[in-house]
Amino acid sequence: MNMDKVENTFFQRASRWKIIILLLILALIITVIISLNMGFAPIPFSDILGIIGKQIPFFDRLFDFSLVSPVNEAIVLEVRLPRIIAGVLIGAALAASGVLYQGVFKNPMADSYVLGVSAGAAVGASASILFGAGVMFFELRLIQIAAFVGAVSALFLVYNLARVGSRVPVTTLLLCGIAVNFFLFAVVSVLEIIAANRLHDIVFWLMGGYSNVYWQHIWAILPFIVIGIATAFFYVRDLNILAMGEETAHHLGVNVERSKLILLVLASLITAAAVSVCGLIGFVGLMIPHLTRLVIGPDHRILLPTSTIVGAIFLVLCDDLARVLSTFFGPMSTRDWPVGIITMLCGAPFFIFLLKKKKRSYGT
Amino acid sequence: MVLLTVDGIECRYGSVKVLEDVSLSVKGGDFVGILGPNGSGKTTLLKSISRILKPHKGTILLNKADIYSLKSIDVAKQLAVVPQDTSIGFNFAVLDIVLMGRNPHMKRLQMESERDMAVARKVMNLTNIWHLAERPINELSGGEKQRVIIARALAQEPKILLLDEPLTHLDIVNQLEIMDLVKDLCIEEKLIILAVFHDFNLAARYCGSAIMLKKGKIFSVGNLADVLNSENIKSVFNVDAIVTKHLVTNSIFVIPLSPQNSVTAGVLNVLDTDFETAQFLKIPVTTEAPFSPITKKTHKANLTMISEASTVVLTSVPFGDGNLQNLEAALIAVKKGIPTFVIEEVPIERRDFTGGKARALLAELKNKGAEFVKDQNELLSLLNVSVEKLKIAKEERDRLLDHLKPEKIPKEIKTKGKDKKK
């Protein structure tokens, strides 16, 4: 076959994509290791590598890890690592679901807020704060379960409200989502009014953060997020084609209603899992997919993995900053800064900078 | 060979019936034009065939299988659609969009193979967009976009191609190129082509057969020549049209007449300059075979036309035995009380080749009250008179009132000419 330049460039794309993903994974690992070092008590990198290495079977027989202090090991494994892993998972989840929502809705303004998923979680969380946040189920706090249930119920409600016969038109879905979203946030406001001395807790949850996360929370959300994102990969080409419009997608062999339902359920499950731990963290779901699309293009086959990893890196870095700031303001601050504030403070200006720079090539 | 059978379908939007009892059967190699005014159900027909709008009643069979029982992906391997409007959500490159046409042939998680690329390249060369391969779609012109969409449909390697006004955004060269391409595919690869057309002549040039829809029902179906005639056009589109054979392409040639266009002409000999001028001006004419005298039949047709006219104009042509009947026709018009104008640029003595018969008839015309004018300008100045102008030009009114009652001057003045245009 006579290959010309265009074809060559096209076929090189697959390997280019692999390199991009590998580099991003590398960047993520470096980010995690650097983040382990940061915090109130500085721990040398050699110890960090040792502690991690010790956890990996096979490695622990190759090297001698006896020099690592048990205190440091406890800090890294029980305090810092869960928090960082939570950051990785939540960042990945929010960014990935953002990609899915924006793809399905063909709308760059879509994120977990549009289907009321975040609002549902907020209602669940606020109600549980009011009526007994301390109750535990299987080592999970009630608030986490309530937020998850709230998020999934909101999706169920919106989806069924928007249904017209056997079809669920995107416009109706968006409008129902927005209406339910407003309604649910009104409910949150009502809960805030009657919350009295617990108002502070609700407000903090709404700001978004995961400063006191433990392994059991991570195990609880891990399957949803990992399986959710992995399953979504089977539908990335459908997402590309859905961007051509639903009728065209249908003509190109996509089972539109089914793909749409699967993608929205996946996106909402992923979001619900993340939000149940971290509360409402803005910006990541909306802007990380945008930002990645600006650099990498609209093809969801590469957009989904890169957004996922960039989301993870971004949230871990923002959480580092939150930790540094709360250490800096240590004596005055009773608890850590919610990372949701940082994501918006840092992310928005950076995004605007990028938007200005690449204005020409950015068509929606 | 691929077969598509539509059997008695009825489609509704809510409670509104948009298609009723539509049946047709097409096989590979058929190029079918779908004609009809806006809202007659053309697009709905395509939508029901492409599984967007399931019919309330009736079935659509693709190779004897109910198309609604098949999987989307299996239908997409055989049937491609070029929709009316194309909006694209994100800014994909042209090549990516064309390759999306390969989707029905690819498995989940599979990347495009070299064969997919070869197909894409082939159809992009056919549609003349290979040079645009890496350009973002939203930077293209409307015509280029349309060609991308057509290439994407062809990349599906379909057996059936549905085109919904595919030429809307294309200039004339592109229209012909695309339609030639589609026609070739229809013939060479035995594709079924179903295309909605607004332009009768494009339909006539490419379609072998046609369906004409009126208010959701098939008004006429069959060979193009049987469907596309002036009676059908009049009853379905409510517009007068002349249907002839085109001199160059030999395909049916339709000249729709805009409703306010109200000049007719007769009797003209086919292929004469006056005939061609009338064709060019899209004027309905009564015609006679080339170089032939006016026959009784044609004369009658001419009289019918005259009886519908509100004003008759007899031009300053030479008269021989062959066209003397035009004078008789004018005389009949005068007798019927239709305002009749006679242009006499050249004195009748110099253009009477009938041995005085024409002269006598002209004298009688004058007697019976036909208005004689000396040239076209005078005629036009008389015809252009409106009531308002009359108010302004009093003297003119007085002069004209003798001949024409202003309230009887219709807004649209029909003229009937036996016209040798200079």
Residue A81 lies in a domain: yes
**Which pair of structure tokens corresponds to residue B195?**
């295309």
Q: Rounded to two decimals, what is the model's pTM? A: 0.76
Question: A251, A257, A258: which to substitute to probe chain B, counting the most B Cβ within 10 Å?
Answer: A251
Out of A12-16, A135-139, B201-205, least confident range? A135-139
Nearest Cα residue to B166 out of B26, B76, B75, B42: B42
Question: A234, A238, A244, A260: which to substitute to probe chain B, counting the most B Cβ within 10 Å?
Answer: A244
Predicted confidence (pLDDT) per residue in B256-290, tens digit: 776 554 678 878 888 887 887 777 666 778 888 88
Out of A313-317, B128-132, B231-235, B381-385, least confident range? B381-385
Residue A341 lies in a domain: yes
Average pLDDT of chain B, as a whole number = 84
- Cβ contacts of B121 on chain A, cutoff 8 Å: 7
One DSSP character per residue, A12-56 reads: HHHHHHHHHHHHHHHHHHHHHHHHHH-SSS---HHHHHHHHHHHS
What's the average model confidence in pLDDT over B10-30? 91
Question: Which ranges of B192-347 does DSSP label H, i.e. alpha helix?
Answer: 200-206, 224-227, 230-237, 273-280, 296-308, 324-335
Predicted confidence (pLDDT) per residue in A12-47, tens digit: 888 999 999 999 999 999 999 899 888 767 777 777
Nearest Cα residue to A349 out of A285, A291, A289: A291
CB A240 within 8 A of CB B100: yes
CB A224 within 8 A of CB A217: no
What CATH number did the domain enclosing A89 receive?
1.10.3470.10
Radius of gyration over every alpha carbon of chain A, rounded to an integer in angstroms: 21
User: What are the backbone dihedrals phi and psi of residue A120, each rounded to the nearest 5 degrees, phi first?
Assistant: -60, -45
Out of A118-122, A246-250, B282-286, least confident range? B282-286
Of the candidate CATH numbers 3.30.2450, 3.50.50, 3.40.50, 3.10.590, the domain formed by B264-418 belongs to 3.50.50
Domain B3-256 identical in fold to domain B264-418: no
Residue A6 lies in a domain: no
- Cβ contacts of A6 on chain B, cutoff 8 Å: 95, 130, 133-134
Q: What share of chain B is helix, strand, coil (3-state, %, to 5)?
A: 40, 25, 35
Residue A8 lies in a domain: no
- Cβ contacts of B77 on chain A, cutoff 8 Å: 253
Give me the domain span that covers residue A346.
16-357
Residue B389, pLDDT > 60, answer no
- Name the one residue in this structure whose structure tokens are 């691929």: B2
Residue spans per domain, chain B = 3-256, 264-418
As a whole number of angstroms, the distance between CA B150 and CA B154 comes to 6
The reported pLDDT for the residue numbered B390 is 37
CA pseudo-torsion sign A259, A264, A265, A266: positive
Q: In A, residues 231-250, which contact B (CB 8 Å cutoff)?
A: 233-235, 237, 240-245, 247-248, 250
Predicted confidence (pLDDT) per residue in B122-158, tens digit: 999 999 999 999 999 988 988 889 899 999 999 999 9
State whether A364 and B104 contact (CB < 8 Å).
no
Determine whether domain B3-256 maps to CATH 3.50.50.60.
no
State whether B89 and A14 contact (CB < 8 Å).
no
The reported pLDDT for the residue numbered B212 is 95
As a whole number of angstroms, the distance between CA B355 and CA A238 comes to 85
If DSSP codes are grouped into helix, strand and coil, which group holds residue A178?
A: helix
User: What are the backbone dihedrals phi and psi of residue B320, each rounded to the nearest 5 degrees, phi first?
Assistant: -125, -175
State whether A6 and B130 contact (CB < 8 Å).
yes
Of A9, A10, A247, the CB nearest to B52: A247
Domain count, chain A: 1
Across the beta sheet with B371-373, what order do the strands follow?
A: B285-288, B264-269, B416-418, B312-314, B340-343, B371-373
Residue A9 lies in a domain: no
User: What are the backbone dihedrals phi and psi of residue A285, each rounded to the nearest 5 degrees, phi first?
Assistant: -65, -35
On whether any CB of chain B is under 8 Å from the CB of A252, the answer is yes
> How close is the nearest chain B Cα to the Cα of A63, in Å?
40
The reported pLDDT for the residue numbered A333 is 52
Residue A364 lies in a domain: no
As a whole number of angstroms, the distance between CA B107 and CA B117 comes to 15
The reported pLDDT for the residue numbered A348 is 82
Question: If you measure CA to CA, which chain A residue comes closest to B100?
Answer: A241
Answer whether the bond into residue B270 is a cis peptide, omega within 30°. Answer: no
User: What are the backbone dihedrals phi and psi of residue B110, each rounded to the nearest 5 degrees, phi first?
Assistant: -80, 145
The reported pLDDT for the residue numbered A60 is 64
